[in-house]
Amino acid sequence: MLDFAIFAVTFLLALVGAVLYLYPASRQAAGIPGVPPTEEKDGNLPDIVNSGSLHEFLVHLHERYGPVVSFWFGRRLVVSLGTVDVLKQHINPNKTSDPFETMLKSLLRYQSTGGNVSENHMRKKLYENGVTASLQSNFALLLKLSEELLDKWLSYPESQHVPLSQHMLGFAVKSVTQMVMGSTFEDGQEVVRFQKNHGTVWAEIGKGFLDGSLDKSANRKKQYEDALMQLESILKKIIKERRGMNFNQHIFIDSLVQGNLNDQQILEDSMIFSLASCIITAKLCTWAICFLTTSEEVQKKLYEEIDQVFGKGPITPEKIEQLRYCRQVLCETVRAAKLTPVSARLQDVEGKVDKFIIPRETLVLYALGVVLQDPRTWPSPHKFDPERFDDESVMKTFSLLGFSGTQECPELRCAYMVTTVLLSVLVRRLHLLSVEGQVIETKYELVTSSKEEAWITVSKRC
């Protein structure tokens, strides 16, 4: 269900470490080109840290050694795939579970996964259907929250700098928490409390698998455990309230309750969706607006489509589906921002990619950030060009990578819808403008963000 988690570089490495700890792999390099361990104990960890991020390390590795490369995390072999062609050989569309969901749950100390194939498939479908139902039933909510943000921005003087990342995170947290947990999060204080606890949990998840620093700091460990306990406490309370009751607002938890999952399974799936969707939605909104502020022609064309589809009428779910160019803008945002630069799968059985044998229980990384900038697949890869997605073959490739179509993960599907509603409301009334002289530097985590606050200005459309 979850194709990605959200960690800083050390947390991302911790996630890799957790999988290798949980699923020991062969020491054998299997003849795959790559770098030998820099240190016996840490493998290539010093090289990854010196590169700045796992993504940047993989960029250099694939440039030097080709589409299939290997490196060492501690004493364990990791294989990375860096082109569409080799990914096609490895991806199995019939997989019923995603290892990132398993890894994230293990890092949260959740234990309820591991049923038979039929049970796992049923739970996955229940999760996906829950996302669909909550988006459909909460469309008016998304519209309301978008219009509230519009009113806030309309009240600003045209010269005022708007802290885009901050506003998008707040908007995403409000949207996702109410879709998942309902009217409790109409209370602004509840939203602020959730956002604080959310930040604490994401700042610490998995770090102890890398260096044990969380266990060495009693204060940090207590803050993390308290934050997680508070998040779980509110979820448990809402699960209890929704059992056997009928409410006007259908939320994500309702779908899980109606699917006869037990309380622990509902807690886990609700936690995963809440934590992941908040960050993914916030970053997609942020990057989409950033690109629009620097791409005047794209913003103009998007405005024309919005005006043509809605005219002076209301924004409705049916008409939202007609925003074809808007969807292309979001797809190009995911690609150009390298929104999720790394994904992974565990090698269940010994396999072959290209001419190389991948040993059983090896962690295989999908270097999506490398693939998304490959000029052989994406001509002029550094240009922001939504119209490249006019090509049906390009959309098929994007779907293969898990960013669209049947392979699209539920959290990203949620983010696409929320961002589409927001852009429809904002671009209809506002020009979105960049701040002169601002350079936005990128921080490559498992969900890519800006290193510092991204600032914009806005002006009213005539």
Q: Is 22 helix (H, G, I), strand (E, B) or coil?
A: helix
Judge residue 199's burial from the number of C-beta atoms within 10 Å of its C-beta, 0-12 exposed, 13-18 middle, 19 or more buried: middle
Q: Which residue has the higher pLDDT, 26 or 316?
A: 316
The pTM of the full predicted model, rounded to 2 decimals, is 0.90
pLDDT digits (tens, 9 = 90+) for 42-93: 888 889 888 888 899 999 999 999 999 999 988 888 999 999 999 998 876 5
pLDDT given at position 9: 40
Q: Which residue has the higher pLDDT, 13 or 435?
A: 435
Question: 23 — phi, psi (to 5°)?
Answer: -125, 80
pLDDT digits (tens, 9 = 90+) for 270-297: 999 998 899 999 999 999 999 999 999 9
Residues of the chain with pLDDT > 70, as a percent, come to 86
Residue 26 Rama label (left phi>0; alpha psi -120 to 50; beta): beta
pLDDT given at position 398: 92
Residue 123 has pLDDT above 70, yes or no: yes
Model confidence band, residue 161 (pLDDT cutoffs 50, 70, 90): very high
Give 40's contacts (C-beta < 8 A, 6+ positions apart). Answer: 75
Judge residue 297's burial from the number of C-beta atoms within 10 Å of its C-beta, 0-12 exposed, 13-18 middle, 19 or more buried: exposed
Residue 148 has pLDDT above 50, yes or no: yes
pLDDT given at position 10: 41
Q: Which residue has the higher pLDDT, 347 or 27?
A: 347
Angle subtended by helix axes 410-429 and 117-137, to nearest 10: 10
Residues of the chain with pLDDT > 90, as a percent, come to 60
Residue 100 has pLDDT above 70, yes or no: no
pLDDT digits (tens, 9 = 90+) for 184-220: 899 889 999 999 999 888 777 645 444 455 667 888 8
pLDDT given at position 201: 86
pLDDT given at position 67: 96
pLDDT given at position 220: 86
